[in-house]
Structure 1
């Protein structure tokens, strides 16, 4: 009787070890796939001219990619801009989805200054917000004159 119980325990232990061993191999393979997925991130190539004149319409464009794939269905793609040093007084602008991975908006700056612009982008359960600057008119030079 003891020999039968002992044999059953040994067989069960071997079965459990075999199951754990094959599970490790599957997890390793799945881990590799997950690591490849984790290496991908959304990227935003954000185009803004360096300068423009007050009252001029400025085209903002962002190209959104995920790895080598262009993202044509971003959940969010908005531009936020404000005059440098005055981020509390920012303006949000919805972009137009062009269906080819590019998102565009038009903005007009009413006065000279240096403006900061974020491209708020959410896609593939990730969020990024690259920032660029644009100088309108004389930019910081007119700010320095006004502060004197």
Structure 2
């Protein structure tokens, strides 16, 4: 009877370890695909009003709701050394957002830093506050995205 129980126990351990190994294998394959971030920032916004900015994070077309870190870096044009970092809040389904009120009329740059599944990407977009000029690349809706592996 003890032999039977020992063999049964060993069999269960082998089956469980095979399942865990298969799960790790699936996760490893998915991380080879790049993480994409769609940064949504309005081209213009009014002075002294909350502006919502969102980053939609996907990998292989699927929402990434488990990003390790999502932070927005915001700076006034020409003074990146005075940038402000704001931790994003997850809204679920791969959407991470912040609200920011700008108290000075100027052109600002917004760059979201996303670290997820061993990858890092940093798309950037400008935003004109008040009567500040809207840059030409915003009118064409271009956003720069950089990818790095961790």
TM-score by length of 2: 0.67
Tell me, what secondary structure is at the counterpart of 1:133? strand
Q: How many residues are treated as equivalent by the alignment? A: 108
Alignment of 1:71 with 2:64, yes or no, is yes
Structure 1 residues 85 and 71: CA distance shift in structure 2, 3 A: same
| Bigger-Rg structure (1/2) | 1
80, 105, 116: which one aligns with 1:112: 105
77, 89, 93: which one aligns with 2:82: 89
Unaligned runs of 5+ in 1: 1-32, 142-148
Question: 2-side partners of 1:117 and 1:103: how far apart?
Answer: 14
Unaligned runs of 5+ in 2: 1-27, 135-150
Deviations 1:43-75 (A, max 9, x none): 000100110111010001010001121100100
Partner of 1:128: 121
Shift of 1:99: 1.9
Shift of 1:140: 4.4
Q: List structure 1 segments (4+ residues) > 2 angstroms apart after TM superposition.
A: none
Deviations 1:110-146 (A, max 9, x none): 11000001010000100000000000011149xxxxx
Partner of 2:73: 80
Tell me, what secondary structure is at the counterpart of 2:92? coil
TM-score by length of 1: 0.68
CA contact (8 A) 2:53 2:97 kept: yes
Question: 2-side partners of 1:104 and 1:140: how far apart?
Answer: 25
Question: 2-side partners of 1:95 and 1:37: how far apart?
Answer: 22
Tell me, what secondary structure is at the counterpart of 2:97? strand
